[in-house]
Structure 1
Amino acid sequence: MDICDYLARRGGAARSLELQRAGFTRTRVGQAVALGVVVRTRRGVYALPGDGRVAGALAAGGRLTCLSAAPIYRLWTLNVPTGLHLSRSHPTHTSGVVDHGRPKHPRHPWLPVLGLADVLVHAVHCLPELEALVMVQSAVGAGDISRDFLYARCQGRRNGRARAVLDLVIPRADSVLEVLANVHFARAGLRVRRHVYIAGVGEVDFLVEECLVVETDGSTHFEPKSIKRDQRRNNRSIVGGYLVLRYYYEDVIHRPEAMVAEVQAVLRVWRRPTNSRLGDLFA
């Protein structure tokens, strides 16, 4: 096996002892370093160039958890991880490292990463509310863990904040945008149904107050075929008697207050008497 392939399967890094056990001699490792396809991050730790999470965990003597473990489990995140979130047997002050508690559940079988349960429990205690929510939602939605299981690990008065995050998890969400838009609409007091099927249109992301269709569109909706399909869906929704608004990543992530304000403004117009609405439309 090629040393790069081996390291890739190990999350991008391994200790020299692991490499030797896998059959890579010191000479072979040295040649890979000389060619630049492998880097020596510190004494006894070798890694592929680029992402250094696993190498950082090995160098710091810990296991990845919380936000730093999200890419390993392919969890949704809002921000690119900065620094390292680790679980270490003997934590010491290390610049750029956030130390978490020791594991209480089975660890990852071969990578220096905590198990998914510990990763998520650490996240709901450590991260800002919405950042923790999207991680938990993606794991629950994929069927990798249940919300009830996490609830059971977050009992007691000190875990109220963690349970508040779990309360925001919904049965199904197809994207980060759906998760966050649902939170913002609910907190604005809007009556919302998700994944509603409308005859002639198909399934829509949200039906707000039974009259307004709201769609949250990711990057795939910018493809020419998708744009035409979405515009035709808009037309069919309006012909069917619904209003339609569409929001994108920037709206949901960076301008949620403006998004909610627009939804509320449209609903206010819709609730006016018919003649008044027509006057607004043709003024």
Structure 2
Amino acid sequence: MDIIDYLNRQGGAARASQLKKSGYTRAAVNQAVALGVVVKVRRGVYAVPGPGVLTSALAAGGRLTCLSAAPVYELWTLNTATFVHLCRSHPTSTPGVKDHGRPTHPRHAWLPVVGLADVLLHALHCLPELEALVMVQSAVGNGSISLEFLFEKCQGRRNGKVRSVLDLVIPRADSLLEVLANTYFVRAGLRVRRHVVIPGVGEVDFLIEECLVVETDGATHFEPRAVKKDQRRNNKSIVGGYLVLRYYYEDVVHSPDAMVAEVLAVLELRRRGVFPVGTATRQTRMRSF
């Protein structure tokens, strides 16, 4: 295998010891550096040219964790890391680097990244509440880690805030929009059911106060066929006696207060009799989520 291909498979960078074990001699590595197809990041660390977070980790003598490791494990995130989150044996003051405690769980098999358990535990102690929540939700939701395990690791009085984030994890969320919207609706004191199946409509994201369907739509809902399908679902929901609101990424992530205010306004109008009360609540059934 070409040394460039090897480095790319390793995430863009590798230690000299890894290269040697994989059969690349010192002469071959030096030749690649001389040709400019490989760069020497620091002593004993080589990478493909160009910036890369894994390269930064190796250059700083550490392993990625927290938000910086989220892409490796394909976790949901609200923001990209503005600095590199690392675990290092001997932390030093390094510009652009945030050091976390030493890892206590098995690390990634070949990349300079700590294990998923440490990534999430560091995120829970480091990131703002909702940023940590979406990372944990995606890992729990895809079965990579159990919520019970994380609770077990977060006992004690000092971990009260961390457990409050874990309390927000729901059994199923098909997107980060769902877990965020659920958090906002519940905190507004609303009665919320998730993934409710409405005859003739199908499964909806939320049924609030047994009368208002709320859908949270990601990028795929902008495709022409998806738009038509969603509009027809809206029509069937209304014919069935439900009110319907739809929200997108910008609404849920950047304007949650406005979203909740609209939901409350619609419910208030219904309470006042502006929208007639139908028989919708007798037509629904809920899956066990």
What TM-score results when the alignment is normalised by the length of structure 2?
0.91
* CA 1:57–1:93: 2 relative to 1, 3 Å: same
Match for 2:258: what amino acid?
A: A
**Which is worse superposed, 175-184 or 103-112?**
103-112
Question: Which residue pairs with 1:101 in the alignment?
Answer: 101
Q: CA-atom RMSD, angstroms? A: 1.6
Residue 7 of structure 1 and its aligned partner are, at CA, apart by: 1.3
Match for 1:159: what amino acid?
A: N
Question: Percent of aligned positions with the same letter in both sequences?
Answer: 75
Question: Which residue pairs with 2:246 in the alignment?
Answer: 246
Question: Which residue pairs with 1:56 in the alignment?
Answer: 56
Superposed, 1:177-196 pairs within 5 Å as: 177-196=177-196
Residue 96 of structure 1 and its aligned partner are, at CA, apart by: 1.1
Question: Which residue pairs with 1:68 in the alignment?
Answer: 68
Question: Which residue pairs with 1:172 in the alignment?
Answer: 172
Question: Which residue pairs with 2:257 in the alignment?
Answer: 257
**Which is worse superposed, 24-33 or 67-76?**
24-33
Residue 218 of structure 1 and its aligned partner are, at CA, apart by: 0.4
Residue 151 of structure 1 and its aligned partner are, at CA, apart by: 0.4
* CA 1:195–1:20: 2 relative to 1, 3 Å: same
**Which is worse superposed, 15-24 or 102-111?**
15-24
1:88 corresponds to 2:76? no
Question: Which residue pairs with 2:215 in the alignment?
Answer: 215
Residue 244 of structure 1 and its aligned partner are, at CA, apart by: 0.6
Residue 163 of structure 1 and its aligned partner are, at CA, apart by: 0.5
Residue 31 of structure 1 and its aligned partner are, at CA, apart by: 4.9
Question: Which residue pairs with 1:281 in the alignment?
Answer: none
Question: Which residue pairs with 1:228 in the alignment?
Answer: 228
* CA 1:235–1:36: 2 relative to 1, 3 Å: farther
Residue 156 of structure 1 and its aligned partner are, at CA, apart by: 0.6
Residue 47 of structure 1 and its aligned partner are, at CA, apart by: 1.8
Q: What SS does the corresponding residue of 1:215 show, helix, strand or coil?
A: strand
Residue 36 of structure 1 and its aligned partner are, at CA, apart by: 5.0
Name segments (4+ residues, structure 1) moved above 6 Å: none
1:117 corresponds to 2:107? no
**Which is worse superposed, 22-31 or 220-229?**
22-31
Q: What SS does the corresponding residue of 1:41 show, helix, strand or coil?
A: strand
Q: What SS does the corresponding residue of 1:86 show, helix, strand or coil?
A: strand
Take 1:52 and 1:175, find their aligned partners in 2: how far apart are those partners?
A: 27
Take 1:61 and 1:2, find their aligned partners in 2: how far apart are those partners?
A: 25
Question: Which residue pairs with 2:284 in the alignment?
Answer: none
Question: Which residue pairs with 2:131 in the alignment?
Answer: 131
Residue 33 of structure 1 and its aligned partner are, at CA, apart by: 4.3
Take 1:116 and 1:17, find their aligned partners in 2: how far apart are those partners?
A: 24
* CA 1:199–1:62: 2 relative to 1, 3 Å: same
**Which is worse superposed, 39-48 or 164-173?**
39-48
Take 2:30 and 2:262, find their aligned partners in 1: how far apart are those partners?
A: 61
Take 1:149 and 1:216, find their aligned partners in 2: how far apart are those partners?
A: 29
Match for 2:165: what amino acid?
A: V
What TM-score results when the alignment is normalised by the length of structure 1?
0.93
* CA 1:132–1:103: 2 relative to 1, 3 Å: same
Take 2:173 and 2:51, find their aligned partners in 1: how far apart are those partners?
A: 29
**Which is worse superposed, 93-102 or 14-23?**
14-23
1:156 corresponds to 2:156? yes
**Which is worse superposed, 12-21 or 33-42?**
33-42
Residue 277 of structure 1 and its aligned partner are, at CA, apart by: 4.7
Residue 37 of structure 1 and its aligned partner are, at CA, apart by: 4.2
**Which is worse superposed, 34-43 or 18-27?**
34-43
String of CA shifts for 1:46-65, please: whole Å, max 9, x gaps: 22345511111111111111
Match for 2:188: what amino acid?
A: A
Structure 2 stretches of 5 or more lacking a match?
A: 277-289
Take 1:154 and 1:55, find their aligned partners in 2: how far apart are those partners?
A: 31
| Corresponding residue pairs, total | 276
**Which is worse superposed, 41-50 or 262-271?**
41-50
Take 2:31 and 2:218, find their aligned partners in 1: how far apart are those partners?
A: 44
Question: Which residue pairs with 2:198 in the alignment?
Answer: 198
Residue 12 of structure 1 and its aligned partner are, at CA, apart by: 1.6
Residue 87 of structure 1 and its aligned partner are, at CA, apart by: 0.9
Take 2:175 and 2:51, find their aligned partners in 1: how far apart are those partners?
A: 25
